[in-house]
Amino acid sequence: MPKMTFILKDGSRKEVDAPIGLSVLEIAHRNGVDIEGACEGSLACSTCHVVVEPEWFDKLSPASEDEEDMLDLAFGLTHTSRLGCQIRITEALDGLVVKLPAATRNMMVDK
């Protein structure tokens, strides 16, 4: 089974099984990784924002226009930022490494 590694907010690393076809968000939730996913993967928020390690970024499918729009709302946006709900594991992503940003911005919460 493919594996992936989360670099947690404290800098520690957590390697987990990454079943093919699941999203990074789903894998995080299955393994107790602290990614919010307020919209439950429906591409309506940016709370599953992750920073993909540069050596993996070009192996991902390009972000859709809708994902790009949501990323504009993310805290700590970088040139390798993606939404975890939009990254689906394939054989080619075995070993994927993503970093959790220091904070998230939940625009779905009533203010």
3-state secondary structure of 99: strand
Q: Find the mean pLDDT for residues 85-102.
A: 96
Instruction: Convert 62-95 to b/e letters by CB count within 10 Å (16 or more is b).
Output: ebeeebeebbeebeeeeebbbbbbbbebeeebee
Contact 104, 37 (CB under 8 A): no
- pLDDT tens for each residue of 27-66: 999 999 999 999 999 999 999 999 999 999 999 999 999 9
Residue type, 66: D
3-state secondary structure of 4: strand
- pLDDT tens for each residue of 55-92: 999 999 999 999 999 999 898 899 999 999 999 999 99
pTM of the model: 0.91
Domain map of the chain by residue range?
3-99
Which CATH fold would you assign to the domain 3-99?
A: Ubiquitin-like (UB roll) (3.10.20)
